[in-house]
Structure 1
Amino acid sequence: MTASLRLGPLLRHAGPTTATVWVETDTPCTVRIRVDGAVTAASETFTVHGHHYAVCEITGLPEGAALPYEVFLGEDRVWPEPDSPFPPSVLRTTAPEGPTRLLYGSCRRPTGDTPEGVVRYGPDMLRATARRLAREEVDGNLVLLLIGDQVYADELEEPMRSFLASVRGPAVPDGAPGDEVVHYGEYAELYRQAWTDPPVRWLLSTVPTLMIFDDHDIRDDWNTSEAWRGAMDGRPWWRRRITSGLGAYWVYQHLGNLSAEARSKDPLWARVRDASGDAADAVDGFALLAHDEPSSYRWSHRYDVGSVRVLMADTRCSRALGEDAVHEGSRSILGAEGHEWLDENLAGGPDHVVVASTVPVVLPSAVHHLEAWNEAVCAGAWGEWPRPLGERLRQAMDLEHWGAFQYSMRRLGDAVGAAARGERGPAPATVLFLSGDVHFSYAAPVRHRHVAEGGTRVTQLVSSPLCNQLSAGTRRVVRLTASRAVHVVGRVLTRLARVPGIDLSWKLDGKTYAGNTIGEVVFEGRDAEALWYHASEGGIDALPGVHRRMRV
């Protein structure tokens, strides 16, 4: 039986002399990567829930190279596709001394840039970026960061709803929602539909890409609070859903984030790679444990490229969700192990440290104060009777960013201050928070109370969404949150709830932008520049243009 590509190739983790290629095939086979006419890597597929995958690690490549490659399944060449309008896909290795460009964004609904999709969600910035890069000469290190909501498991487009209807039939077991994915095979189709659009497929085949989940990769408001988690655990279909979602995330997104060395140390990888048959039981058991005991696995990962250290932080699965005001840290956005990991890696040495947090660290101050107040009320700052009301407000208004985890804000402030003062090695030129989630974009310079001016520059940069623009009404609400009046109200509420102050202060630089966008940060030496691209003119085939740039 001739094998074919079901998904991929995806170019994932890249080092100075290595590159990782991930594929999904429709039958077990040997996957070979050929570079410059020679086979440089071969890997047998592994199987999870009847789906077949391979991770090929190509080694011995020159530094800072961009080398065209081909993919073979058995003896058949399956990539590049014949008559593709795009340039050949390349393996990109990093140059330790070269300039670095980080593209980043979140929140993408796959529409194929159909006229109906553009009207509802706006132009797809991953498609637009593919068109731009296909015409550009790319110099230096280029990496794409997809920081949350790569798929929407709970808000499905018509092709995915049709798929569910065809595989499930009229009966939905355990009262599972008919318009959300639940099983592993449904997640597999969700990823296939998200990443097989030709421009996006080419982009992911030729730009090294790192990923981290946010809530919609599993379900809206995932791990908002202990009450939310308890309510979901009470639904008979939820354990299957969380098992499928985390298992699929490990296979489709997380596995490619890892270097060969990190992958060799992963507790699940050897069991899956060496399984004699289908590794579904191993993946399911791992995923359920990761849900039941968040400290059992670390999803956060670090990537050093050029003079930049990128820290992809898990702010979802590893949350500690207690409300015990007596024990500080019982509620945190990273969990105890996550904070220890961030403390260890948010250190001096690199010229630039980037913390990729799917949810913004720094929000418009009015929203930050509202979240801090709400957390205090839910923990009993105003007594017992307002706590249920506070919880309903928290879930209704999505009050679950860093501002709603004040312990984590203080601990992150301590880490940033120590790095900026040179207490953890030579102070970096910048510490940047890259985020998405909120469906509008902005920049906010951050000051630390105990760091002198002229030292490390700290900035929050947000770029969101890639393709899921806000409605006109929601845009008006966003503008209201940046108003002076709402800021004053929020500040009064935090004082009435006796919320302790933090060492970080900030103010938005300019206005927020609510259209679809993709962000970019360009690093050269100790300088850094942030850019935001959008494609609001020229129809579905428009190339993106820079609508804002600033030095950070």
Structure 2
Amino acid sequence: MAGLRLGPLLRYVDWESGSTATVWVEASRPCTVEVRCADGASGASPTFSVAGHHYALVVVAGLTPGSTTAYEVLIGSRRVWPPEDTRLPPSTITTPPATRPVPAAERTAGSDGPPAAEDPASPDGDLATGDPADPDASPTTGDPADPDGGRVDDPVGPHGGGAPAGPTGPGGDGAPDDPTVPAVPDPVRISFGSCRWAAAPGNGDDPVGPDALVTLAARLAADPEAQRPDVLLLLGDQVYADETSVATRRRLAARRDLSEPPGTEIADYEEYTYLYDESWRDPEVRWLLSTVPSCMIFDDHDVIDDWNTSAAWQRDMRATPWWHERIVSGLMSYWVHQHLGNLSPAELAADPVYAAVTAAPDGTEALRRFAAGADADPARARWSYRRVFGRVRLVMVDTRAARVLAEEQRAMLDPREADWLREAVLSDRASYDHLLIGSSLPWLLPPLIHDTERWNAALCAGVRGPRWARFGEKLRRAADLEHWAAFPESFDRLTELLREAGSGPDAPATVCVLSGDVHHAYITEPRWPKARPGRGSGSRHEPGPDAEIASGSASGTASGAAPAAHVLQLTCSPVHNSVPRSIRTGFRFGWSRTGRWIGRALARHGRTGTPSVNWGRTGGPWFGNQLMTLTLRGRNAALTLVQARAGARGAQLEAVLERSLTPEGGAISSHSTEC
């Protein structure tokens, strides 16, 4: 008799029709999986098989726009979800009101919220107290001596209380007579983070502190009326193939000799399934993922640390006997567990790989061929995707598999992927008020780190000769120098694309790059300086008080006015992982004036030129297990950061930041001090 092995995960909810969704499950044997909703909506799908495992992605149709409905999962006539003995709330699907075109007059900035609080940023873009050159200077949010950032009362976020989702959609603010024409735009709440090492502590004492996702799940499960996120963005390192837990190592040791490579790391598809078991089987997290839609993208640890750092790195790995099986299995398991749920039903129907895998009695070989081809030639696959949440557009970018690694052509995105990104961002700009770019790797880093990566890229390209190039390659691998800054032309092109997206009569209110990876949280804002003629591109982070703000192109020459939209880099990591003191000190130093001075010296040595953009830190750094939430309503935006902290009543989410991101905004949802 077939049973439910893993899931369900609520993945895609259609924000245009408000009538369809997809639910991912793994069954214990071949069967047909049915999802049945309390409002009469339903869907069913036979499982497909990969490497002895059986999966289904069920398309649920007939949902009522602007509603919340409970659902159950059946195999045959037997209900397998929710469990009979569960104490958790019902799993639900919440749909937005069906959308209608919104005239430009109704989208006037400032028309849907009270005035914003004064921008707390200092003139040079840094929130700091004491000596600005002090690498341990803390932000002014709360106690300046608090190394993890201060605590701010009245958070805005997915768990801040307020009215539950009701018949008029998330937040219950629509017009009850006609849910297709909301009187006031419903807020869209998007929570995000990255880097979740899901291993459960064996003795109840978690050495890296409470898991922010587990704590959020427990909070929402304990209070079904609490405001939930409309979507959860998981921005990489959902599993750690190169850092396995004690429990997973026991499972590995039961099937192979751990003294043989790859040792305690993951070797093949079956072992990858152990990681997803560990990550998604916690009862409260399982419930959370069954009721809050999720969007996912990989980062390096989903495969291996520093995946695709350089051409030399790739050559060395491909010469390693166990690597081919690791990368093929990593891409196969990502496709099954994460990628499929990112796609709409229409995209699934048009996907030839999905058609081949689901049509075969055993889809393993079809999926292996695809994964091997995607590793050999990144242009054969696209892992990036676009999603729409009302008047919010999300473009999730693959910053790992789509790289061009040849030193003379080095790019974060291959030409086909770069063209896709440009089209995904710039097409029909009048249709969105907020543009979100999901990039597992931050676009804007602490200045010293950015300049170090750009300097290192110049060395590796041979600007200082072959000896420096060899040193540069060793340093690149040892210090993980492989973010956007390590691909200088790609950094400049992304910078110009964001400027263009935020400019003109159809400019959105905000353009936000959402990232993780670096095991701390911060906010930074770019400023486009007027370029000086005859100079190349590079980086600069401290414009003078009289600097004229304009735009910069990839070549460092002016290409137009500064964007009208508020452009930000929002970085939040980890959800659950360690943050050694040395890393904290290093990142703080990277933001300091002394660090900036060292960065400028490196830029001169590497001949990296003058900048295409400037930026300053306007929030953070914050360290801890944490999640950020954007609350977007009309053309207003607010940001909340919460951290999971142990307390007498167990782990709690505590707000450390609330901030309006738009000058017309202000508080958008109800407030509480403890989440």
TM over 0.5: yes
**Equivalent pair of 1:110/1:194 in contact (CA under 8 Å):** yes
Q: Deviations over 1:180-236 (max 9, x none)?
A: 111111111211111100111011000000000000000000001111111100001
Q: Deviations over 1:303-359 (max 9, x none)?
A: 0002100011000001111111xxxxx111122122111111212221000001001
Partner of 2:5: 6
Among 87, 96, 110, the alignment partner of 2:89 is 87
Among 271, 288, 300, the alignment partner of 2:384 is 300
Matched, 1:181 2:266: yes
Same amino acid, percent of matched pairs: 43
Among 460, 471, 486, the alignment partner of 1:378 is 460
3-state secondary structure, aligned to 1:372: helix
Q: Which runs of 5+ in 2 are unaligned?
A: 100-184, 529-549, 552-559, 662-675
2:438, 2:526 → 1: CA distance? Answer: 16
Aligned length: 539
**Equivalent pair of 1:31/1:45 in contact (CA under 8 Å):** yes
1:309, 1:549 → 2: CA distance? Answer: 23
**Equivalent pair of 1:110/1:467 in contact (CA under 8 Å):** yes
- 1:82 Cα deviation from its structure 2 partner: 2.2
Among 496, 509, 528, the alignment partner of 2:637 is 528
Matched, 1:27 2:29: yes
**Equivalent pair of 2:24/2:57 in contact (CA under 8 Å):** yes
2:3, 2:225 → 1: CA distance? Answer: 31
2:644, 2:258 → 1: CA distance? Answer: 43
TM-score, reference length from structure 2:
0.78
Matched, 1:483 2:592: yes
CA separation of 1:238 and 1:414: change in aligned 2, threshold 3 A: same
Among 134, 137, 153, the alignment partner of 2:225 is 137
Q: Which runs of 5+ in 1 are unaligned?
A: 325-329
Q: Which moved more, 1:150-159 or 1:471-480?
A: 471-480
Matched, 1:289 2:373: yes
Partner of 1:258: 343
Which amino acid in structure 2 is aligned with residue 60 of structure 1? G
1:501, 1:523 → 2: CA distance? Answer: 35
3-state secondary structure, aligned to 2:645: coil
Which amino acid in structure 2 is aligned with residue 300 of structure 1? S
CA separation of 1:535 and 1:526: change in aligned 2, threshold 3 A: same
2:208, 2:646 → 1: CA distance? Answer: 15
**Equivalent pair of 2:503/2:562 in contact (CA under 8 Å):** no
- 1:115 Cα deviation from its structure 2 partner: 5.4
- 1:167 Cα deviation from its structure 2 partner: 1.7
1:444, 1:225 → 2: CA distance? Answer: 27
Which amino acid in structure 2 is aligned with residue 302 of structure 1? R
In the TM superposition, what are the counterparts of 1:35-184 in structure 2 within 5 Å? 35-36=37-38, 38=40, 40-95=42-97, 96=99, 97-112=185-200, 118=206, 120-134=207-221, 135=223, 137=225, 142-168=230-256, 170=257, 175-184=260-269
Which amino acid in structure 2 is aligned with residue 305 of structure 1? F
1:206, 1:106 → 2: CA distance? Answer: 19
Matched, 1:445 2:525: yes
Partner of 1:360: 442
Q: Which moved more, 1:446-455 or 1:260-269?
A: 446-455
- 1:93 Cα deviation from its structure 2 partner: 2.0
Among 213, 232, 240, the alignment partner of 2:317 is 232
Among 652, 655, 660, the alignment partner of 1:543 is 652
2:225, 2:390 → 1: CA distance? Answer: 19
CA separation of 1:117 and 1:353: change in aligned 2, threshold 3 A: farther
Q: Which moved more, 1:77-86 or 1:150-159?
A: 77-86
Higher RCO (Cα < 8 Å, 6 or more apart): 2
1:114, 1:428 → 2: CA distance? Answer: 48
Partner of 1:336: 415
- 1:37 Cα deviation from its structure 2 partner: 6.7
TM-score, reference length from structure 1:
0.94
Larger Rg: 2
1:92, 1:229 → 2: CA distance? Answer: 44
**Equivalent pair of 2:242/2:266 in contact (CA under 8 Å):** yes
**Equivalent pair of 2:229/2:292 in contact (CA under 8 Å):** no
2:490, 2:318 → 1: CA distance? Answer: 25
CA separation of 1:138 and 1:342: change in aligned 2, threshold 3 A: farther
2:641, 2:234 → 1: CA distance? Answer: 15
Q: Deviations over 1:438-485 (max 9, x none)?
A: 001100012233265682000000110000031223222222222211
1:121, 1:110 → 2: CA distance? Answer: 11
- Write 1 or 2 for the structure with the bigger share of strand: 1
1:55, 1:441 → 2: CA distance? Answer: 34
Matched, 1:427 2:507: yes
Q: Deviations over 1:89-115 (max 9, x none)?
A: 001223445310111011011133665
2:278, 2:619 → 1: CA distance? Answer: 37
2:13, 2:604 → 1: CA distance? Answer: 48
**Equivalent pair of 1:111/1:117 in contact (CA under 8 Å):** no
Matched, 1:318 2:402: yes
**Equivalent pair of 1:150/1:213 in contact (CA under 8 Å):** yes
